[in-house]
Structure 1
Amino acid sequence: MITALFGAVESGIIYAIMALGVYLSFRILDFPDLTVDGSFVTGAAVAAVMIMNGTHPIFATIAAVLAGFIAGCITGLLHTKGKINPLLSGILMMIALYSINLRIMGRSNVPLLNNETLFTKMGDWFNSTGIDSFFNSIASALGMGESLPKTWAVLIIMALITLLIKLITDRFLQTEVGLALRATGDNKRMIRSFSANTDQLTILGLGISNALVALSGAFIAQYGSFADVGMGIGMIIIGLASVIIGEAIFGTKTIARTTLAVIGGAIIYRIVVSLALRVEFLETGDMKLITATIVIIALIVPKFIDAQRDKARKRKLKAERLAALGVMNAKDGERIASSQTD
């Protein structure tokens, strides 16, 4: 159980980067971008092929980010310059990327078992510095040494990388360009009145969004030691689930809090899926059904809670009005009685 939870947290932190990309397109730009299902695989494919051909994992990962950025920009161009519906633009790019990803990989699956990746290098460095031994000794002292993986590299390094991306995203959204992006998602007509080019902002926003998605795909390919052409199917739902769960649990009062909520939502989502798959009557093939169920619950429960709060607030207001009316009637009765006495 502990090992499964540990693995869920590791993968959740990596998928959180993808969820941040989905947050930028769906929440900031208000753009239903289905390119995500394709750009996630593009990032994985580019990184896997370049690593397999001897490129350093860092450069392969950077190339994957650039490929994702280009894919997002093309989606933006289809919508802004081609005047194609936002939803259809994403669908068209997602379909096109399926063939492009096959071209990049040359086959449907690229294994990385015998290649050095970022995570193998991280693990080697952790072993050489003694960091793993330190954390393993703590785990052994707590009686959990047998349940946890041998290396802590993935968890610690990915947590730092994801936190850094979150901080950069927060800072970017507070800059002039970031504020213009937020305004574009809220009210395009208003931001146009300030001479802002909403087309360029939309293209830039979708490019950054899919760059983050591709980065997550590159990390997942190196984490799982393979890239597959079908690994992006339903990725947009996973991203939305992470965003919705995080917002429902942690709130959205500020940008910094919301981005942290998205990361938390991604981790919680992976933990829930991991626990659900341990139920006897559920199988690995039921993951999409589990994902859909989680999203439905995450969408319905907050609305149900808000409805109950509204009802309680209305009942309270009604009770206060009745109480005030009762006081007024009592005072009127006292005045009538005193006038009759006089």
Structure 2
Amino acid sequence: MLSNIALYGAIETGLIYGLVAFGIYISFRVLDFPDLTVDGSFPLGAAVAAVLILGGWNPWLATGMAIVAGMAAGAVTALLNVKLGILNLLASILTMIALYSVNLRIMGSPNLALLGEETVLTPWYELGLAFHQVPVALFILVTFIALVLLWRFMKSEVGLSMRATGANARMARAQGIATGAMIVLGVALSNGLVGLAGALFAQSQGAADVTMGVGVIVIGLASLIGGEAVITPSTVLRALIACVVGAIVYRLAIAFALNADILGLKAQDLNLITAILVTLAIVLPGFRNTVRARLTRKKA
């Protein structure tokens, strides 16, 4: 069994990766744009927030600038694809590689410590909650606001245009939609959410590190696919809720696996556990549909 601290820690991290899953949902599901930029925009958000907080900025303003930085990174990837005709996957890889050097430039070192600095969490510690409950309370609020805003956006005219672009770009252009602009906006929005997640992660962990984005795309995909296996994404709202649920379930599964003595797993097995969970999340829905089809035939 998990201790309270481990349980709240898994939920806290799951909520942060829920924001990453939102971003991946926009790029992969809405726009059908495979985007690996997130492995660079996640530490970019952390780096920008950390440097500005250490420079005396208000933590919320620093977090806002992290969102802007993430959006700029996403826009670069989209422009490489739309304006220069570079394959979307390759464009995102190029941006991701470049961001490693950019992040080092921003921080001036491989990592920065935020211990003792005022962060977005600081005022919440005065509410009387237990130390490990504070990040969960704040991140639930942030994730809920992001979910509602994203849901409303997807129902707007621009959001519908973006969804049309991802569904059938040729038909969307025939209807007068500027598909290139929709791709740039969508990928920028996606990485802005990832930049927000990176900024919050750095502040909750007390440090920003240039390598903290390694594997974020896999975690985000695991959250997205796992959530869709739990909650059928028949509507945009259900799809967004599935992102959060999937991220939390993923982190809880990781925590249980690492804390279960009978399995004998250690921290270095994290990537193995992630690969297994993603495989199960991909295979189980098809297996479930097969079982349902067989049961239906038997009843008939």
Deviates more, 1:173-182 or 1:284-293: 284-293
1:76 aligns with 78
Amino acid at match of 1:241: A
Does the 8 A contact of 1:123 with 1:151 survive in 2? no
- Corresponding position: 1:210 with 2:212: no
- Partner residue, 1:312: 295
Q: Paired residue for 1:170?
A: 151
Given residue 191 of structure 2, which amino acid in structure 1 is its aligned partner?
N
What one-letter code is carried by the residue in structure 1 that aligns with 2:185?
A: L
- Runs (5+) with no aligned partner, structure 2: none
Match of 1:332 in 2: none
Q: Which residue of 2 aligns with 1:122?
A: 124
**Letter paired with 1:243:** L
Distance 2:76 2:201 in 1: 24
* Offset of residue 19 of structure 1: 1.0
Match of residue 45 from structure 1 = 47
Taking structure 1 as the reference length, the TM-score comes to: 0.84
Match for 1:265 among 246, 250, 256? Answer: 246
1:98 matched to 2:100: yes
Q: Shift of the alpha carbon at 1:315?
A: 4.4
Q: Is 2:9–2:132's contact at 8 Å kept on the other side of the alignment?
A: no
Q: From the CA coordinates, give the structure whose radius of gyration is larger.
A: 1
3-state secondary structure, aligned to 2:112: strand
SS in 1 for 2:121: helix
2 CA distance for matches of 1:98 and 1:311?
Answer: 50
Match of 1:240 among 221, 224, 227: 221
Query: Unaligned stretches of 5+ in structure 1?
Result: 133-148, 318-342
Q: Does 1:157 align with 2:138?
A: yes
RMSD of equivalent CA atoms: 1.2
SS in 2 for 1:277: helix
Q: Which one-letter code corresponds to 1:236 in the other structure?
A: I
Aligned counterparts of 1:243 and 1:36: Cα–Cα separation in 2: 14
For this pair of structures, how many residues does the alignment match?
296
The amino acid that maps onto 1:201 is: M
| TM-aligned CA deviation for residue 151 of structure 1 | 5.3
Q: Among the aligned pairs, what percent are the same residue?
A: 46
Aligned-pair distance for 1:115? 1.1
Distance in 1, matches of 2:171 and 2:41, equals: 31
> Per-residue deviation at 1:32?
0.6
Determine if contact 1:20/1:262 at 8 Å carries over to the other structure.
yes
- Counterpart CA distance in 1 for 2:96 and 2:271 is 19
Q: What corresponds to 1:294 in structure 2?
A: 277
Report if aligned partners of 1:123, 1:152 keep a CA contact under 8 Å in 2: no
Following superposition, the deviation at residue 250 of structure 1 comes to 1.2
**TM-score calculated relative to the size of structure 2:** 0.96
Supply the AA of the counterpart residue of 1:174: K
Q: Displacement of 1:288 after TM fit?
A: 1.3
Rounded Cα–Cα distance in structure 2 between residues aligned with 1:32 and 1:258:
18
Map 1:14-29 → 2, pairs under 5 A: 14-29=16-31
Deviations 1:130-189 (A, max 9, x none): xx3xxxxxxxxxxxxxxxx43532222211111111000000000010001111111101
**CA distance in structure 2 between the partners assigned to 1:115 and 1:38 by the alignment:** 24
Deviations 1:261-287 (A, max 9, x none): 111111111111111111332111211
* Alpha-carbon distance between aligned partners in 2 of 1:98 and 1:293, rounded to the nearest angstrom: 28
Distance 2:65 2:85 in 1: 29
Structure 2 residue corresponding to 1:86, chosen from 85, 88, 113: 88
Whether the 8 Å contact between 1:41 and 1:231 is mirrored in structure 2 is yes
